[in-house]
Amino acid sequence: MSEEIKPFELIEPGKIKFPSWKNPYTPCFTIVPAMKPNDKNPYYPTASARPRRPVTDPAKCTFTDKLCWLYCPEPCRIPKKTPEGKDYYDIDPMYCKGCGICAEVCPSKAIKMVPETEFAGWW
Amino acid sequence: MVKLLTTGTFAIATAVKHADVDVISAYPIRPYTGVMNALARMIADGEFDAEYIVVDSEHTQFEVAKHAAACGARVFTGSAGIGWAYAHEPIVVTPGCRQPVVAMVGTRALDDPGNFGVEHNDVLAERDMGWMICFPENPQEAYDLTLMAYKIAENPKVLLPIAIACDGNFITHVRFPVDLPEADVAREFLPPTPPPRPSVLHPDKPIILCPHTDYYWGMEFRRQLDEAMRNAREVTREVHKEFNKIFGRGGPPFIEEIATEDAEVVLVGMGGMTMVARAAIREMRKEGIKVGFVKVRRFRPFPDEELREALKKYRAIGVIDNDFSLGAPNHGGILYQEVRSTLYDLEDGPYVINFMAGLGGREITVEYMRKMYDIVLKVARTGKVEQPVYWIGLRE
Amino acid sequence: MSFDKIEIKTIKDVPEDEYYVRGHRTCAGCGPALAARYLLKAAGGRAICITATGCMYVANSSYNTGPWAIPWMHTQLGGVGSAVTGAAAAYKALMRKGKLKKEIIHVIGFAGDGGTADIGLGPLSGAFTTNYDFLVVLYDNESYANTGVQASSLTPWGAWTTFTPPGKMLRVGNVREKKNLAKMIAAGHPGVPYIATACVSYPMDFMTKVRKALAIRGPTLIHVLCPCPKGWKFPPEKTIEVGKLAVETGTWILYEIEGGQFRLTYKPPKRRPVRDYLALQGRFAHLREPDIRFIQEMVDRACREVGIE
């Protein structure tokens, strides 16, 4: 039994390779690694149940208000740049659950909720 | 070294002081309260330094102990009877959290109806959960076993809580000559700072302790606890050997055989009844009847090999249960079930007779002991078991 | 950790670092998840969090993992009060005795309304009679949400839950009035230095209160209202709006009790009628006019007591 606590091995994001009870990852299964700050939990990319996703219009995004970033419960609002260099906020598609809070609170109405079926195949 | 005529509760309090415990959670219930009174006085007088928290219930006591241990502290708590039952929730989860909590039980009959007399059911109700359980015979053993308890529980291969079950009144309140070592000798055996363990919360090493799991993990986790309990055997043996060396006493780790070299039959029991057995053996041997006693010092992990080795040579043995297990096989007690199950692996084991005795605090006297020996001798000599379970001292 | 600033006024003051990371199984739009995010953001990395059984245990740590980036432990449903007592006492003893390096490690207990106001009320009260340094945050989603939305003593009058469903014979649903837990703890435990109420729709106010509570020595409590889309029956994008309406209608009052002194931290400029708040939530859909008037009276009384017109 190793004293250092290591993350469990993943087959793919969200799918753990379940170790034997003699596992070398942790002294015992009730002691598991904590996340790192600003990181993401690889064992639960929670996107699979998402019925609709928020799409930002970068032109309308004021960026500095950051209300979508502030009110996201996940949180999965990530700053991105358009090819032209405009800053805007978008989702981390592996984690957004499609709640729609960001679209509600955006002061410039830059976010639209679009059914997930429009994006079939990205996963 | 100081030789004091003192009670089990004071002896345990001294062991807790010598262990330099950091956090103590207290709540009163007969008959264990004395240990908390003694600790409060010691701390108030500056004999040692610990956070002594008066809490609102036994449930809180054991939760406080579990979480204080989870932050790296050495802890002590305890309860008795129905209070131990009230703490069942945190008691059950503490092994799962891998915290080395040391708790005293002043064994007392469970309510209802209320009864302050000794019965072992309070601690034995938790026998499946992953707590190590030991039964001191007298206040001297109470001190010894408590000091050893920290060393065994804090071993990284074990990390399981341990209960010191002292017979209510007979060990908690009755005075007995106890050798209390000097604090520095105790510290030589048990350093004041526990060894580092992985199940501790500190921002330098963030961990998630006890997340919610499911069927993919549950079975493997139980097996890991099972392994820890198996490791406890070897660790207990090592710790006892070290204790024997430093203090020159302590005896064998799991069972103690009393006058068994040439005994015709033996009785098996736990706790304070052993003192009575010693007296009965002395009396009967003066009359030429050769009997002995096998004291089960540690109930969990259960001493299978030791008991099989010790008991295989007898034609008949008796198991004294200061507890009950209503509806159990043969309507016998708990120790009876465990001993019989262990002896089943023998090719040609002894007849096992069960004696329900001492229930509700009714004292097991020398006369009752002799009665039990007589019954077992009759079974050994005739080879016939008239009934498997006897209630000794019952008004028929 | 001593904070460089306690007051978080604008978006610029909000710390960037996330100590509650993405990848947990709470519902879309979960109010308590937002509370956990703000709490851990304000508290920073030199803290530990002990969470009682509930949504923020089961839904977050399923299965055998968790989104926390600080040391975290589970405690029993009613155990949050005892857990923070034990943890705070341990650090205090170990640091004083030289067994652990001296530093500030914030001890935070996080538990739901069922766990804290019902089964955990005894241990919570016991914790507030001690003098240890900890913060208990009560995330109030007004039900035992994790087991499928059952009534707790913090479920408001008239609410649907699975234990208080409105039916042909019993029309109203929940007939118990919501317990005032923050005031109970403040009134009954002399010397408690800081107790506050908050709401996830007012994150700056909540985070400021968290920092304030953590900087104060002694036992502190923050009771934060967290709208729950599943339990309160509203679409998940409305979480922030429902929380805002709770405060703007005076149904939920934001205040602090510091050193025994009561102080309103937000006064709605023009208090809206309670029906605006009730209308958004399916759990109140069965209520009739007399019921809404009754609720309005209760809210009016509570607001008058604290000086909200």
Residue B196 lies in a domain: yes
Interchain CB distance below 8 Å, A29 and B96? no
**Domain interval for residue C286:** 11-305
Among B225, B247, B269, the domain boundary falls at B247
Q: Is residue C16 part of a domain?
A: yes
Q: Are residues B300 and B232 in the same domain?
A: no
In chain B, pLDDT over 90 holds for what percent of residues? Answer: 99
Q: Counting beta carbons within 10 angstroms of the beta carbon of residue B54, is it exposed (0 to 12), middle (13 to 18) or buried (19 or more)?
A: middle
**Which residue segment(s) compose the domain that B309 sits in?**
255-391
C6 is a domain residue: no
3-class DSSP state of B352: strand
C68 inside domain:
yes
Asked whether residue B264 falls in the same domain as residue B189, the answer is: no
Q: What is the mean pLDDT of residues B74-85?
A: 97
**What pLDDT does A49 receive?**
81
* C66/C24 Cα distance (integer angstroms): 7
Residues B381 and B233 both lie in one domain:
no
pTM value surpassing 0.90:
yes
Domain count, chain C: 1
Q: Is residue C298 in some structural domain?
A: yes
- Which chain C residues in 211-230 lie under 8 Å from chain B, judged by CB atoms? none
Q: How far apart are CA B267 and CA B284, in angstroms?
A: 13
Work out the average pLDDT over B303-317.
Answer: 97
Nearest by CB: C22 against A75, A101, A104: A75
Residue of C nearest to A102 (CA): C237
Q: List the one residue out of B178, B208, B145, B361 whose CA is nearest residue B273.
A: B361
Q: Is residue B261 part of a domain?
A: yes
In a domain, B76, yes or no: yes
Give the model confidence (pLDDT) of C256-306 as tens digits. Answer: 999 999 999 999 999 999 999 999 999 999 999 999 999 999 999 999 999
pLDDT (tens digit per residue) in B51-71: 999 999 999 999 999 999 999
Average pLDDT over residues B136-145: 97
Residue B278 and residue B242 share a domain? no
Q: Is A31 on the interface with B (CB under 8 A)?
A: yes
Q: Do A27 and B198 touch (CB under 8 A)?
A: yes
Whether residue C173 is contained in a domain is answered as yes
Rounded Cα distance, A82 and A102, in Å? 19
Query: Are B156 and B85 part of one and the same domain?
Result: yes
Tell whether B266 and B236 lie within a shared domain.
no
What confidence tens digit (pLDDT) does each residue in A14-31 have?
899 999 999 889 999 999
Sign of CA dihedral C78, C84, C90, C96: negative
Which pLDDT score is estimated for A3?
A: 62
A58-101: per-residue pLDDT in tens? Answer: 999 999 999 999 999 999 999 999 999 999 999 999 999 999 99
C126/B57 CB distance under 8 A: yes
| CA B3 – CA C191 distance, rounded (Å) | 46
- CA dist., res. C98 & res. A19, Å (int): 39
> Which of B218, B247, B276 delimits the end of a domain?
B247
The number of domains in chain B is: 2
List the pLDDT tens digit at each of the 309 positions of chain C: 578 899 999 999 999 999 999 999 999 999 999 999 999 999 999 999 999 999 999 999 989 999 999 999 999 999 999 999 999 999 999 999 999 999 999 999 999 999 999 999 999 999 999 999 999 999 999 999 999 999 999 999 999 999 999 999 999 999 999 999 999 999 999 899 999 999 999 999 999 999 999 999 999 999 999 999 999 999 999 999 999 999 999 999 999 999 999 999 999 999 999 999 999 999 999 999 999 999 999 999 999 999 998
Residue B342 belongs to some domain of the structure: yes
End-to-end CA distance of chain C: 40
Whether residue A45 and residue C45 make contact (CB cut-off 8 A), yes or no, is no
Residue C1 lies in a domain: no
Residue B18 resides in a domain: yes
What CATH number corresponds to the domain at position C236? 3.40.50.970
Answer yes or no: do B207 and B156 share one domain: yes
CATH number, domain with residue B358:
3.40.50.920
Nearest to B206 among C70, C96, C125 (CB): C70
Per the CB < 8 Å rule, is A33 touching B207?
A: yes
Size of interface A-B (CB pairs under 8 A): 57
Do residue B262 and residue B241 come from a single domain? no
**Strand pairing of A111-115 and B2-6?**
unpaired
The answer on B357 and B235 residing in a single domain is no
DSSP character at residue A49: G
DSSP state of C236: G
CB A53 within 8 A of CB A113: yes
Based on the domain organization, do B315 and B266 belong to the same domain? yes
Cα distance between residue B33 and residue B88, in whole Å: 19
Is the Cβ of C54 closer than 8 Å to some Cβ of chain B? no
- What is residue A122's predicted lDDT score, i.e. its pLDDT? 55
Residue C3 in any domain: the answer is: no
Residues B172 and B295 in one domain: no
Domain boundary among B221, B247, B273: B247
At B77, which CATH number? 3.40.50.970
Q: What is the ipTM of this complex?
A: 0.95
Q: What is the pLDDT of residue B1?
A: 78
Per-residue pLDDT tens digits for B176-192: 999 999 999 999 999 99
B396 belongs to a structural domain? no
Q: Is position B135 within any domain?
A: yes
* Domain-embedded: residue C128: yes
> Which residue in chain A has the smallest CA separation from B93?
A30
CB pairs under 8 A between B and C: 169
User: How far apart are the C-alpha atoms of B33 and B27, rounded to whole Å?
Assistant: 8
| Mean pLDDT, rounded, of chain C | 96
Q: How many CB atoms lie within 10 A of CB C203?
A: 24
From residue C291, alpha-carbon distances to B96, C143, C287 in Å are 48, 20, 6
Residues B157 and B266 in one domain: no
